[in-house]
Amino acid sequence: MLYVVLLGVPGAGKGTQAKWLSAALALPHVSSGDLFREQMQNGTELGIEAQRYIDRGELVPDQVTIGMVRDRLERSDARAGAILDGFPRTIPQADAFEVIAREMGASVGPALHLRVPIERLVDRMAGRRVCQKSGHVYHLVYNPPKKPEICDVDGSDLFQREDDLPETVRKRVQVYESLTAPLVEFYRARGVLQVVDGDQPMAAVTAEILAILGQEAGR
């Protein structure tokens, strides 16, 4: 059973790579951000609570997030594992995730740190478009959809995320540096950290990740 964890600043390419890896490894893509956005779209109590934090670029409280991801990982399609994108994002979440993984009979790792220079992020976020239906990610310049504003995969409309405003992006990067960056050392200490150069064309990043996963499988 394989849990692959994707780490990286907002805009590093976690969602983009997770979609490819999910298809290549036949494991579900579990994105805490997508799960929150789904709840927000459906106007649930959880969605209304999460939106207050997301719109400000802050993190949703750990207990709410952990409960939501646990429920997702207990679904039958995640029996062989999952690609985790955006979770865990704090040390308490990482601790809770180890407990969840143990209960599921899995171990955590590899944790892939997608490294991208901060100066790339504003450009990546400004051009990002996301599909309404299942969160496929596009970029107006680096990965445009075949038809403007329509998802290639499921034909739904593309939208711009409310939290991609430049000032909210700056806040999200600050939150990442203080609360999420410590997870790099957390996973290094456990011997499962792998660093990936996220500042290359998308297909090259995917190839680097698949090479790492191939090596891990062969160990």
Q: Which residues are catalytic?
A: 14, 89, 128, 161, 172
Residue for token pair 């929150």? 36
- Asked if 86 is part of the footprint of ligand AP5 (rule: CB under 6 A), the reply reads yes
Q: Kindly tell me which residue out of 5, 40, 46, 54 binds ligand AP5, with binding defined by CB under 6 A.
A: 54
Give the HSE-up count for residue 76: Cα atoms under 13 Å, Cβ half-sphere.
0
How do beta strands 137-139 and 158-159 pair?
A: unpaired
Residues in the chain: 219
Residues within window 198-217 making contact with ligand AP5, judged by CB under 6 A:
201-202, 205
- 62 near 180, Cβ under 8 Å? no
Q: Which stretch binds ligand AP5 (CB under 6 A): 9-17, 74-82, 151-159, 185-193?
A: 9-17
Please select the residue that binds ligand AP5; options are 22, 32, 39, 51, rule is CB under 6 A.
32
Kindly give, in sequence order, each residue whose CB lies less than 8 Å from that of residue 190, ignoring residues fewer than 6 positions away.
108, 109
Pick the stretch among 15-23, 51-59, 138-146, 167-175 that binds Mg ion (CB under 5 A): 15-23
Among 22, 39, 51, 65, binds ligand AP5 (CB under 6 A): 65
Structure tokens, 89: 């994002």
Task: Report which DSSP code applies to 201.
Answer: -
- Report helix, strand or coil for 192: coil
Binding site for ligand AP5 (CB under 6 A): 8, 10-16, 32-33, 36, 53-54, 57-60, 65, 86-87, 89, 93, 124, 127-128, 137-139, 142-143, 163, 172, 201-202, 205
